[in-house]
Amino acid sequence: MTQLNINSEDLLEHQSVPATDDLDYTIFGGESLDLPLSTQREIRETFVRSAFHQHIRGCSEYADFVARKNIDTEHVALDTIPVIPVSAFKEQTLTSLPVAQIEKWSLSSGTRGTQSKVGRDQKSLERLLGSIHTGMEMLGQWHEDQVDVVHLGPTRNEAGDIWFLYVMSLIELIHPTTHFVASGTLQSRQAIDRIIDTLHHSDQDIIVVGAPFLVIELTNVIEHRQLDIAAQDRLMVVTAGGWKRHSGMELTRAAFNERVCRVFGLSSDAQVRDIFNQVELNTAFVECSAHRKHVPPWVYASTRHADDLSVQRSGELGLLSYLDASATSYPAFIVTDDVGRVYEGTCPCGREGVTMEVVRRLTRAAARGCAMAIDRKTSALVPTEETDNESDDV
Amino acid sequence: MNQMMFNSHETHTGDGRRVAVWTLSSDQHNKHSLPIVIGSGFARRMHHFTSLATYGVHNGFFVSRYDPVNHVGLSDGDIWDFTLSDSLESLRAAVDWTCRYTGSDKVIVVATSLTARVAYELAAQSPRIEAVITAVGVTNIRDTFSKVFKEDYSSFAELPDHLEFEGRKIGPGVIQDAQEHEWWSLERCIDTLKQVRQPLINFIGSDDPWVNSDDIHKAFSAGDGGPRKLLTLERAPHDLGRNAAVAQTFLTYLMEELFALNQIEGTPSVPPFEVITQQALLERRIQRKTTRETESSAA
Ligand SMILES: [Zn+2]
């Protein structure tokens, strides 16, 4: 007879063990977007400040950067926590943990050599997936097999290290998924056949996931084939990535929604949603039915003045910036090249909290100018060469 | 870690129904450790236990999983006809097959939720079970069913048309079987546990809305046929996989218990994220391809 791992002589031993830290409890609890605003603020204060201290201890480059700011790190206000221009991730690797703990290095899209490179440990990766899981629940309440995902992207293997493609491919962990990009080519006919087959021969709902330009490509083929999809309330289109990049299409978001609804025969434009993430950010922001992207409370999102990076008021147009407490392997305290707005209050969907929108991307020269303005002494964190790639996005 | 080896097999229940079995192992397999048989929870399938299987293999164990008959998954039958008695026969088939396949006299069963109750029953009957480790194990089926289905069917004179769980319909046979074979009560579970001489370990989720932890304490205290151990995972829900941090804590402690049961020295290690992810994707594709094909041929 084998022995139990028991110390006492009693036949029954009972032991209690802490199973989760507070932040994981919040991220995976699935209710963070439904909490009252005051609670969300408290969560944000606690976790962002705690992450700040962790990154000062773990990332010497960030600690040097902070040291030059002469701030009281113990009692710092979130608005004064120094933020890193995302361009810095193109120049160097910033890690807050020993490199041996990094499980995945991810690259932004764009051309090699001018890509951001971000390393994540297991905890950061799990938390990113947790934020997607919570976000998916805002799209609808489906059990695993109640949805068939038509993914306009490659498999996880073909996605390689490109963050946007990698993250999208992992939807396969949640729902049955077929990938319809192979060797960089969209297999539109097969994707459409899959949609029609599921609509007619299954009681599953369908989620079409892909970059906006691929969704447009799919609608073009559907129109060309004069197909009447008439999916009504059984299909949802979820976009991620590249509204500007491949947008030769010159389509506003409203026009995009209208086109997608018409071609797929959807009941409501609440069935067209967008998800925001970028390689330097460790949390996905998912749109609610009112088309606002909700920012979970472990991320402090703000906009900043381009000249001095000071934090702006709610709703003011400025550079989007995030302090994301969920990343443990690198300081996800960033200011981006995106111009947008951040709102705090009650969303038309009824939830209290923070929402954000991207309005446009800063031009390359302006972005560089802005980065240089942050602090001339922090050149280590700022690219000195003009680069010709667009900033990257998910 | 060296390459993991994944294989699909099948065996049969005593009355000839096909049971699908997956094995996961590696060439670093510790030949002195007992094989592990994983019994998934109700409405869960083999691919939902990729992490547990991968942790096991990463720490030197040979791991079998199976889908029960009359359940979701790759085995014969449909969940409409699910019964706890069939679930018991499926676990028995998987345990017997694993012993035959590996040449081991005994296995350790790791069972979750409702399947825990079935594993306790088999442990009382089968000399092939060396120990049982359960997670969010159910000892009082009547109470858990009442919490999940919002009705106490044990007292119904007439059977309901069907039950519904996560969008799936389950026929009234499950109730009838529970009544006929006395699966319902905590007292009956305690009687069983008194006959179980083997070590039993159960992980409790302190935030589990479906399992009353007082019942577990009572069952493990009174059902003292052998060594018993309870571990409470603080702030853990019924679905231990929902919170990745909870999952990692559970799996690490589980490996420690498996090491102790096998008298293995050392500290368990955590498999890389990418290894688990790749295995999870592979298993989902196999499970889903088969499911879709079955549905198409049925349609
Ligand atoms: Zn909203």
Going from the C-alpha of B212 to that of each of A25, A212, B88, B137, B151, the distances in angstroms are 21, 48, 23, 10, 16
pLDDT at B28: 81
Q: Chain A interface, mutation test: which of B166, B204, B265, B281, most A Cβ atoms within 10 Å?
A: B281
Q: Tell me what percent of the residues of chain B surpass a pLDDT of 90.
A: 90
End-to-end CA distance of chain B: 43
Mean pLDDT of B51-69: 98
Look at residues A31, A276, A48, A27 and name the one whose alpha carbon lies nearest to residue A131: A27
Mean pLDDT of B47-65: 97
Side-chain half-sphere CA neighbours of B282 within 13 A = 16
Q: What is the mean pLDDT of chain B?
A: 95
Q: How many CB atoms lie within 10 A of CB A115?
A: 21
pLDDT digits (tens, 9 = 90+) for B136-166: 999 999 999 999 999 898 887 788 899 999 9
**Which residues of B fall within a CB distance of 8 Å from A16?**
206, 231-232, 234
Strands A205-210 and A235-240: parallel
DSSP assignment of A279-333 equals TT--S-EEE-TTS-EEEPTTEEEEEE-TTT-PBPPTT--EEEEEEETT-SSS--E
pLDDT digits (tens, 9 = 90+) for B77-96: 999 999 999 999 999 999 99
pLDDT digits (tens, 9 = 90+) for A65-121: 999 999 999 999 999 999 999 999 998 999 999 999 999 999 998 766 689 999 999
**Which residues of A fall within a CB distance of 8 Å from B295?**
202
Its sign, for the CA torsion A312, A317, A319, A323, is positive
* Cβ-based contacts under 8 A for chains A and B: 135
Side-chain half-sphere CA neighbours of A283 within 13 A = 30
pLDDT digits (tens, 9 = 90+) for A264-309: 999 999 999 999 999 999 999 999 999 999 999 999 999 999 999 9
Q: Chain A interface, mutation test: which of B168, B276, B284, most A Cβ atoms within 10 Å?
A: B284
Six token digits for residue A207: 């989620």
pLDDT at A365: 52
CA–CA dist A209, A352 (Å, integer): 27
**Orientation angle between helical segments A122-139 and B273-298, nearest 10 degrees:** 30
Ligand 1 centre distance from Cα of residue B243 (Å): 24
Maximum Cα–Cα distance for chain A, whole Å? 77
Q: How many CB atoms lie within 10 A of CB B219?
A: 26
Ligand 1 centre distance from Cα of residue A292 (Å): 5
Q: How confident is the model at residue A250 (pLDDT cuts 50, 70, 90)?
A: low
Mean pLDDT of A239-256: 73
Ligand 1 centre distance from Cα of residue B92 (Å): 50
Q: Tell me: pLDDT of A392 over 80.
A: no
Query: Letter for the amino acid at B162?
Result: H
* Number of residues that this document lists for chain B: 299
Find the helix or strand (DSSP H, E) in which A361 lies: strand A352-361
**Which residues of B fall within a CB distance of 8 Å from A11?**
224, 226-228
Mean pLDDT of B249-255: 98
DSSP assignment of A66-129 equals HHTTT--STT--GGGS--EETTHHHHS---SS-GGG--EEEE-SSSTTSS-EEEE-HHHHHHHH
A164 CB-near residues (< 8 Å, 6+ apart): A108, A109, A240, A241, A277, A279, A392, A393, A394
pLDDT at B295: 66
Q: What is the mean pLDDT of chain A?
A: 89
Which residues of B carry out catalysis? Answer: 113, 208, 238
**Which residues of B fall within a CB distance of 8 Å from A12?**
220-221, 224, 228-230
A2 Cβ under 8 Å from any chain B Cβ: yes
Mean pLDDT of A119-130: 97
Task: Determine the 3-state secondary structure of B78 from DSSP.
Answer: coil
Burial (CB count within 10 angstroms: exposed 0-12, middle 13-18, buried 19+), residue A168: buried
Neighbours of ion ligand 1 (CB under 5 A): A 288, 290, 292, 347, 349
Domains in chain B, start-ordered, CATH in brackets?
A: 4-298 (3.40.50.1820)
List % helix, strand, coil for chain B (3-state, nearest 5). 45, 20, 35
pLDDT digits (tens, 9 = 90+) for A173-208: 999 999 999 999 999 999 999 999 999 999 999 999
Maximum Cα–Cα distance for chain B, whole Å? 57
B91 CB-near residues (< 8 Å, 6+ apart): B37, B39, B66, B68, B109, B111, B115, B118, B119, B122
Q: Tell me: pLDDT of A384 over 60.
A: no
Strands A181-182 and A177-179: unpaired
Q: How confident is the model at residue A11 (pLDDT cuts 50, 70, 90)?
A: low
Query: Letter for the amino acid at A102?
Result: I
Its sign, for the CA torsion B163, B165, B169, B175, is negative
Least confidently predicted of A350-354, B282-286, B287-291: B287-291
Side-chain half-sphere CA neighbours of A196 within 13 A = 11
Side-chain half-sphere CA neighbours of B124 within 13 A = 18
Burial (CB count within 10 angstroms: exposed 0-12, middle 13-18, buried 19+), residue A392: buried
Search chain B and give the residue with CA nearest A127: B244
Radius of gyration over every alpha carbon of chain A, rounded to an integer in angstroms: 22
Record: contact B291-A145, CB cut-off 8 A: yes
Ligand 1 centre distance from Cα of residue A120 (Å): 29
CA–CA dist B168, B70 (Å, integer): 13
DSSP assignment of B224-287 equals -SS-EEEEEEET--SSTTSSHHHHHHHHHHHHHHHHHHTT--S---PPPHHHHHHHHHHHHHHH
CA–CA dist B144, B126 (Å, integer): 26
pLDDT at B298: 59
